[in-house]
Each structure stands twice: as C-alpha cells, then as structure tokens.
Copies of this chain bind each other. A is one copy, B any other.
C-alpha cells in the first residue's frame, strides 16, 4: 500500500525529478506529466510541445482517467516551466512571451482543471511562481508576466467557489534561484549559497501534502535562501 498518490507536473525537469524521487522514497504512488516520461514514476503522462493548450489538456485529463480510474490524489504539484529573457525591443520578444506562457500558464490552468476533478477533499495544489515577478522584470518580460498570471491564479484558487474540492489548499512557490545543474552551468560565477536546494523544495511539498505546516490557501510562498538556509515568506 502506498502512503498516498501525487501528480508531479513537470516531473522530468530538474526540480520535478527530485520531487518524484522524494515522494517515491516516502512510499507514495507518483505520476508525472511532462514532455517526456520519467521512469522513476509509477506512471508517466506525456504531452507534446507541438500540441496546443486544449489538446494538451485533453491528453492530461484522459491520461489521469486511465491512471486513476475513480481514485483521487493527495496533491497536484506543478513545477513545470522554463526561463527566457528579453525586453519589449527584443527580436524574440513575442516568441519568448508565447513560450513562457505555454510552459507556465498552460500547465497551471491544466493543473487547476485536473485538480477540480481528481484531487481529494483537503488536498494540495502547488503552482510554479517566481519571486522576481512580484515586481517588474524588464529584462525578462515574458517570463515575469506569465509568472504573475500564475500568482493571481493561485489567489483565485485559494478562494471560495474556485472549483477546487472542499478544503483544498492552493499555493505557489516563488523561488529566486533553484540550485539546478543548468543554473550552475549558466551562472557559474554566482553565489550558490543563496540558491535554494531541490531537496528542500521536495521536502516542503512532502510536508504540505501530509498536511503539516501548510500555508493558508491562496498563499504565495517566497523561498528566500541565505547562507544555504531557506526561509519561507508567506503572503
């Protein structure tokens, strides 16, 4: 018997893979949703990046129906989404806005839709925010506006009549920089002691899923790391 069931959206990325491993190590049944399968998971639902919003949603919903039957899950944890820079004068401006939107916002609205149907009462939904998007982000405009949309979606899901099951908690995590191999590669000169470890985030999701120290529904949870210690700033 597993301890519970969780769905990791973006479960093939660096953070997602760490989260999958952590829940598996704690005896959970884990399904992933991503552009590629994660063999550590009990089930992988694969969406195509060439498909549009509603086609991806259909693939996710039918994948969950097949995997879960009439079962419900304890948590939907979305850690999907990438990064792209650029201001309004950049050649790639609209292309990057579109990419950021499809990665962060499509996955988050599909998570919301899936959670409305497959999440247990009192379950957890976590969405992928970003601390810098609390203010303006002129050097990465498409990224910032997509993350801001995810933040506001979290606030909506945290209120009554959002469509989530009774007693559910919706939150977003707002990292500054995650300590991933890619970030180490691209920002090799940075101060890694201010980066948030993937294991910390995975354990946070585990605690919240188990109902421990959950922030109020609708919260934006900043992950502020200094000297390798991460504090949560809940708003």
Which A positions have Cβ atoms within 8 angstroms of B? 53-54, 57, 87-90, 93-95, 97-98, 101, 105, 109-110, 112-113, 115-117, 133, 135-139, 141-142, 144-153, 155-164, 218
Given contacts A94-B53, A136-B158, A156-B144, contact A88 B101 (CB under 8 A): no
Q: Which chain B residues border A153 with CB–CB below 8 Å?
A: 141, 144-145
Q: Return chain B residues, CB-CB under 8 Å to A150.
A: 145
The list of the 6 closest CB pairs from A to B, nearest first, reads A89-B163, A148-B152, A136-B155, A88-B163, A87-B163, A138-B162
Say yes or no: A152-B138 contact (C-beta < 8 A), given A157-B88, A164-B88. no
A-B contact pairs, 11 of them (CB 8 A): A87-B162, A88-B115, A101-B101, A109-B141, A133-B152, A135-B155, A136-B159, A141-B162, A145-B153, A148-B152, A149-B152
Across-interface contacts of A135 in B (CB, < 8 A):
155
Q: What B residues does A117 contact at CB under 8 A?
A: 89
Stoichiometry (number of copies)? 2
Q: What B residues does A162 contact at CB under 8 A?
A: 87-88, 136, 138, 141
Which chain B residues lie closer than 8 Å to A138 at the CB level?
Answer: 156-157, 159-163
Instruction: Select A112's contact among B57, B88, B163, beta carbons within 8 Å.
Output: B88
